[in-house]
Amino acid sequence: MSFTKNIKKGKILSIVLFLTLMISLVTVASAAVPEKPTYIGIAEIGSSNIEVAWSPVANADYYYVFKSASENGVYVMIDVTSQPKFQDTGLESMKMYYYKVAGYNETDGYGPESDITSARTALMEPYITAITGGPSSIIVDWSYINYYADSYWVYKSEFPSGMFVHIGTTTENRFEDTGLGYDTTYYYYVKSYNETHGVYSDRSNMDAAKTGHLKPIAPIAYATTINSSAIKIEWNDIASVDGYRLYRSDYREGPYSQIKQTTSHITEYIDEGLEQSTTYYYKVSGYVHTVEGHPSDPTDATTLYVGKPVLIAEAAGTSSIRLEWNVIDDAFDYDVYRSLTENGVYEKIDTTEFVEYLDTGLEHSTTYYYKVAAYDGVNRGAQSETAEATTQTPGTTGPSKPDPETKPEVTPEAEDSVKPMTAGNEIPAFETQVEDNAQSNDVKNGSAGFVLPIFLILAILTTGVLYARAKRRVGSKK
């Protein structure tokens, strides 16, 4: 009885073990095939890329990714990945792509394929190539996008991380933002837009530009003459400028050339090294950075003229000549020139502050030629016309003015030759006295200037004496 029971128990145990093994085999066999991926979708879309993602699948060592250009078209395996996502790159902008995924392991191969998911690539984003600022406007340029872009939307902000506002739409690859504040930085980016599908591209790169400054107003300038080679230009100060530029021309209508650039608050300039008796014209404009303001109206001034003296020369003795000339306005001094010939080389012999000059140490009986030029401290005026004079010859008549270098003395012999008249020699004594006096006067005066008048007096007196003698003879005859 017990043996029979043991047999029954062994059969039951064998059946249980068999069933357990069969269940285990079925379980192992069913667990080896990867399940169907679920929750497949599009994680990211770009203009040239699409990222597909799905939920992980048990028993899948890898995932096979398939793609097609149409929903019901042929799907081609494009990648094998161990991750539950795939980035498809190098795609065409604004095109539809379809995807499905299947799990895989090396023991049992593929599992069931996932449902189909699809996405359209985005519009290609623009790229800002240039951005330039003016005084109150900014121009933004960007690259052309393919034909899927129907328009471009421009966004602006005053801060790089601030809120960007849509400011305009254009079908061109350029946009000018006007009416902006002076000296302000603005930030921009651009998006392309497709009307058919109602989609925008990603935003472009961000770029910035700064507007310029307000164009300075025109100053008021005026010029005044300083001397024969300098003119002073002054103008009013303008607020907020960095400095001023000064221009000069020989004509009121121009052209004007820049001669000076100053820093701010410098409102005058002396233009030196100019030609005498010449009119110059000036303009002044303010500037801020690279923005130059309106120029002032032209102002002009004429440099002074250094006058030309009128020269007179005369002999002052046997070795000197006296020069005189008129006063020249604003002259500091005068240069005196001399030559031995009228058309020869005139050499400067002296400089004087006065309007007369005595040239000494000259040769007697020699003609000298002179010129004089005035100097105002900057420019030397034109030389005077030539004036000439000849030094005196010793023993000849001279000018009314005695030679300051010659002081003749009366010799003792000349003084002894002058004798008083007596009763016995009236006429001889008179004649001797007249001759001696004449000789004495010649010596004293150092010239023969008084010889002729003495001879006339002597002739008159001689005539009187002869007349008296004749009268006596007539009286004695009677």
DSSP code at position 160: T
Q: Which residues of the chain have pLDDT under 70?
A: 1-31, 146, 397-478
pLDDT of residue 477: 42
CB 35 within 8 A of CB 55: no
pLDDT of residue 474: 41
Q: How far apart are the C-alpha atoms of 160 and 140, rounded to whole Å?
A: 16
CATH number corresponding to 128-210: 2.60.40.10
Distance of alpha carbon 46 from its chain centroid, rounded?
51
Closest CA to 149 of 92, 200, 189: 200
Indicate if the alpha-carbon torsion angle 195, 198, 199, 203 is positive or negative.
positive
Query: What fold is seen in the domain 311-390?
Result: Immunoglobulin-like (2.60.40)
Instruction: Tell whether domain 41-119 is in CATH 1.10.645.10.
Output: no
Q: How far apart are the C-alpha atoms of 478 and 476, rounded to whole Å?
A: 5
pLDDT of residue 453: 53
pLDDT of residue 374: 94
pLDDT of residue 424: 40
188: alpha, beta or left? (left if phi > 0; alpha if psi -120 to 50): beta
Instruction: Tell whether domain 221-302 is in CATH 2.60.40.10.
Output: yes
DSSP code at position 463: H
Quick one: three-class SS letters along 224-257?
EECCCCCEEEEECCCCCCCEEEEEEECCCCCCCE
pLDDT of residue 5: 52
**Angle at the Cα of 194 from the Cα atoms of 188 and 198, rounded to 5 degrees:** 105
How confident is the model over 100-120, as pLDDT tens digits? 999 999 888 889 999 999 999
Q: How far apart are the C-alpha atoms of 121 and 426, rounded to whole Å?
A: 156
Indicate if the alpha-carbon torsion angle 254, 260, 264, 267 is positive or negative.
negative
Indicate if the alpha-carbon torsion angle 219, 223, 224, 228 is positive or negative.
positive
Count CA atoms within 13 Å of residue 466 on its CB side: 6
pLDDT of residue 381: 87
pLDDT of residue 10: 54
pLDDT of residue 345: 95
pLDDT of residue 23: 53
pLDDT of residue 397: 57
